[in-house]
């Protein structure tokens, strides 16, 4: 008896990744160089905070645009409301007459985020790297792209999810966060408020998926729609690389984890079908255990018996309601 195969994790070599500066600067590497994730390969100057004061802003007498001012200094006013500098910065006006206050420029270092080789350079702008990744496949995902640090929350309670989300309150912006088996409305709303880069979950309702798109939140689902657990193999891999730099490709339906140079893709061919035998990992889709993962306990001429992940329950299932997981 054979059943279809779902590939959750695979290694891919020869991936091209472009890393660019937020504004023109200096690239400090060369084509052919081998690099590591935290190696500095370029730099520029960036103002991390900018406040739009509008075109009705009146500059305080004695001050000039382009001058650096200290935190707390009165810069001028909009109507009767005075504006004090919330940080050390510079006042400037654009060609349309709008006034802005930006923080003093600081060094921005471009990091590759991956192990790889430089294959092309746009001078002062970006580098193109050839690398290798471990790709974790989504069942469904919103079509955005983001890269950043991966944060993995422990499974599975909603209360614990919120506790961890609040713990990362000050630096959740831009992070890619695995939040548990099932996405809750409370976690989605909090993630939107914190400007999280992407959310990873085992499952979500169709409504929550639509809400993520409406809120413009990148969302990747590993198991499916409804209330399903994350595969143990997927959670283990995520936990192993927590706090590493990863890439969310929503349009390609995958999360890519950079691997060290020389990591080889398994030489065995990926299978479309797999022979059913005792001990293989499977996912089942029958009403009493929809979306559950387990291990084949025994096979008869007419049925497949699967022991669920809790180790106690055994369910009987037949194709097409069972898939092998690799």
What six digits make up the tokens of 201?
Answer: 């979950």
Q: How far is CA 56 from CA 49, 71, 74, 145, 154, in A?
A: 21, 22, 16, 37, 50
Nearest Cα to 271, choosing from 223, 319, 325? Answer: 325
CA 43 to chain centre: 24
CA angle 313, 314, 315 (to 5 degrees): 120
Ordered mean pLDDT values, 10 residues apiece, the chain (326 residues): 76 86 93 92 89 86 86 86 89 86 89 91 93 89 91 65 59 84 87 89 92 94 85 87 90 91 60 82 80 86 84 82 79
Task: Write 313-319 long-range contacts (CB < 8 A, 24+).
Answer: 313/289, 315/284, 315/286, 315/288, 315/289, 317/284, 317/286, 319/1, 319/3, 319/4
pLDDT of residue 217: 93
pLDDT at res. 64: 85
pLDDT at 268: 53
Architecture of domain 276-325: Roll (2.30)
What is the pLDDT, as a whole number, of residue 273? 77
The pLDDT value given to residue 63: 85
Predicted local confidence at residue 242, as pLDDT:
86
Amino acid 262: pLDDT: 66
Q: Where are the domains of the chain?
A: 8-37+131-258, 48-104, 276-325
What top-level class would CATH report for the domain 48-104?
A: mainly beta
What pLDDT does residue 66 have? 86
Neighbours of 274 (CB within 10 A): 17
Query: For the domain with range 8-37+131-258, which CATH number is right: 3.20.20.150, 3.40.630.10, 3.50.30.10, 3.30.160.20?
Result: 3.50.30.10
Check residue 30 and give its pLDDT: 95
Q: What is the pLDDT of residue 167?
A: 63
Distance CA 211, CA 125 (A): 35
How confident is the model at residue 124, as a pLDDT?
Answer: 92
Separation of alpha carbons 112 and 90, rounded Å:
31
């Amino acid at each position: 008896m054979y059943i279809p195969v779902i590939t959750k994790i695979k290694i891919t070599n020869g991936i091209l990744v472009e890393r660019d500066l937020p504004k023109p600067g200096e690239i400090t590497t060369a084509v052919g160089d081998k690099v590591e994730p935290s190696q500095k390969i370029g730099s520029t100057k960036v103002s991390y905070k900018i406040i739009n004061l509008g075109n009705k802003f009146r500059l305080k007498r004695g001050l000039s645009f382009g001058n650096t001012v200290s935190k707390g200094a009165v810069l001028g006013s909009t109507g009767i409301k005075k504006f004090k500098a919330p940080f050390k910065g510079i006042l400037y006006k654009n060609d349309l007459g709008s006034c802005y206050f930006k923080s003093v420029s600081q060094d921005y270092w471009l990091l590759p985020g991956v192990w790889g080789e430089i294959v092309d350079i746009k001078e002062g702008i970006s580098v193109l790297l050839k690398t290798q990744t471990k790709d974790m496949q989504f069942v469904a995902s919103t079509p955005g792209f983001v890269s950043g640090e991966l944060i993995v929350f422990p499974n599975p309670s909603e209360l614990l999810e919120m506790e961890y989300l609040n713990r990362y309150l000050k630096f959740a912006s831009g992070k890619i966060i695995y939040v548990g088996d099932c996405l809750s409305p409370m976690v989605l709303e909090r993630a939107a408020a914190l400007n999280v880069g992407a959310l990873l979950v085992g499952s979500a309702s169709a409504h929550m998926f639509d809400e993520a798109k409406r809120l413009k939140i990148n969302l990747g689902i590993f198991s499916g729609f409804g209330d399903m657990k994350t595969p143990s193999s997927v959670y283990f891999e995520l936990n192993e690389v927590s706090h590493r730099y990863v890439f969310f490709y929503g349009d390609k339906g995958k999360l890519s984890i950079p691997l060290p140079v020389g990591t080889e893709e398994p030489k065995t061919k990926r299978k479309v079908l797999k022979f059913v035998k005792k001990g293989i990992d499977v996912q089942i889709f029958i009403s009493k255990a929809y979306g559950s993962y387990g291990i084949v306990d025994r096979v008869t001429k007419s049925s497949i018996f699967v022991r669920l992940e809790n180790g106690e329950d055994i369910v009987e299932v037949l194709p097409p309601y069972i898939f092998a997981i690799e």
